[in-house]
Amino acid sequence: MSAKKSHSSLTLPVAISLAVHIGLILVLALGALDFFTKKLETPEPAAAAPVQAVLVDQQKVAAAAEKIKQEKRDAERREQARQAELERKAEEAKKAREQEQARLRQLEVERKQQEIETQKAIEDAKRKEQQAKADAKKAEEERARKESERKVAEEAAKKAEEKRKAEEAAAKKAEEDRKRKAEEERKRKEAEAKRKAEEEAKRKAEEERKRKAAEEAARREQELADMMAAEQSTINAARNRQMVSERDRYTAMIKATIQRHLVVDESMRGKSCKMFIRLASDGFVTTAEAREGDGVVCRAAKAAITKAGRLPVSPEPEVYQLMKEINLTVQPEF
């Protein structure tokens, strides 16, 4: 379509231009031929007339040429307008086509959605139909079951009635048999109750014997446990006393070590300082803090501890746990 449109847009202006040029050439040719013919036929004295004729013909030619040019311009404008109109219509057609394609796509989406919904509705209808058939089948089976039960009940009622009549006929004999059997059952139950009472008494006596034996065993176990606990308590107390004694011994050794490194003067007499000491397991001093006391004594005590570096500590882990953090009072000795 684009190639045809381009060819058409070129052909019309070329044809118009060609027609204009051909017409101009014909007008000029006819004007020149008329000029030379009149020049040959007209006498010499009348020379003014051909000049005027030539001027008139040239004006006609110019007018004709101008008219042709105007027509060409008009044709070009009409062609441009036509081309613009064609382009506008093409654009409108393109937009309409795109809109139509969009509409068709939307319709396709809606169609597919409708198909999905229709299929779903069909499946739902099938499912409901199957459920309805199943319910109907179940209802029919229930009806048949009830009908069968009704027939069975009727048959049972009939047999019961027959049996009742037979039982009524044998009522007297049955009553006598019942009384006889009841008496036999009473005697049997009395004997059974007596036997069970004897067995129950034996069972309770056995349970009491086992209970007393268990209580005696538990008492003996508790006595043994108490004895072992008392013995362990005695051992623990002795061990605690030993560890405390060991702690006090090493504490005295620590005080003696600090006294050996303590630099004293007369101004410290009668004064003291409470120190907090934290020890590593090898006796290395990790913390030495003055908590309360004379400032001079506290500084001297801290210097003595720092100078000592390590203080005596028990190699036993339990004793070390008791003295890894100690509070002691340092008082200069004179």
Q: How many residues does the chain have?
A: 334
> Which residues make Cβ contacts (< 8 Å) with residue 11, sequence separation at least 6?
none
What is the amino acid identity at position 256? A
Lowest mean pLDDT among 34-38, 220-224, 261-265: 34-38
> Which residues make Cβ contacts (< 8 Å) with residue 12, sequence separation at least 6?
75, 79
**Confidence (pLDDT) at 299:** 94
- Which among 246, 235, 234 has a CA at the least distance from the CA of 313? 246
**Confidence (pLDDT) at 272:** 94
pLDDT, tens digit, for every residue of 141-196? 888 888 888 888 888 888 888 888 877 877 878 788 888 888 888 888 888 888 88
Q: For residues 326 and 305, is the Cβ–Cβ distance under 8 A?
A: no
Model confidence at 274: pLDDT above 90: yes
Reduced to 3 states (helix: H, G, I; strand: E, B; else coil), residue 313 is: coil
109 secondary structure, DSSP code: H
Residue 232 — very low, low, confident or very high, per pLDDT cuts 50/70/90? confident
Q: For residues 305 and 277, is the Cβ–Cβ distance under 8 A?
A: yes
Query: How many whole angstroms separate alpha carbon 307 and alpha carbon 295?
Result: 18
> Cα 73 vs. chain centroid, distance in angstroms?
76
pLDDT, tens digit, for every residue of 301-318? 999 999 998 999 988 888
**Confidence (pLDDT) at 21:** 52
The CB-based long-range contact list for 66-75 (8 Å cut-off, 24+ gap) reads: 68/19, 68/20, 68/23, 68/24, 69/20, 71/16, 71/20, 72/13, 72/16, 72/17, 72/20, 75/12, 75/13, 75/16
CA distances 300 to 273, 304, 311, 330, Å, are 9, 6, 16, 10
Query: How many whole angstroms separate alpha carbon 302 and alpha carbon 279?
Result: 14
Residue with tokens 């190699």: 315
**Confidence (pLDDT) at 114:** 87
Query: How many whole angstroms separate alpha carbon 52 and alpha carbon 60?
Result: 12
Residue with tokens 């409108």: 92
Model confidence at 45: pLDDT above 50: no
Alpha helices for the chain (secondary structure H):
2-41, 48-169, 171-261, 295-308, 317-323
Mode of pairing for the β-strands spanning 273-279 and 325-330: antiparallel
